[in-house]
Amino acid sequence: MNDLELIFSMLGEAATTEIARKQDARGFSENKTAARKGGRISGEVREKLEDETGEKVVSSGNYLAEPESRKRLAGKKKNE
């Protein structure tokens, strides 16, 4: 995950949280609606940036050099 992917993820989460608070969302279905709206906001902004730059934001790379789950497994094997 690159910096822009992280930023757009955070934007989607923040937008979702703000929408849910403003609409006083309660229960799964109301929060699901808020999540869809927050994700749509982030997605639209990402697409606009991609149109302006001519490059995709989403990358195939992993933000971490080695996934955390593998690190934990390797640590357990060393301690055994």
Q: Residue 71 to residues 6, 55, 60, 61, 79: CA-CA distances in angstroms?
A: 21, 32, 20, 18, 12
Model pLDDT for residues 33-68, shown as the tens digit of each residue: 999 999 999 999 999 999 999 999 988 876 666 666
For the chain, the domain total comes to 1
What would the mean pLDDT of 8-15 be, rounded to a whole number?
A: 97
Higher-scoring residue by pLDDT: 69, 79: 69
Domain range for residue 69? 3-79
Q: Are 78 and 55 in contact (CB under 8 A)?
A: no
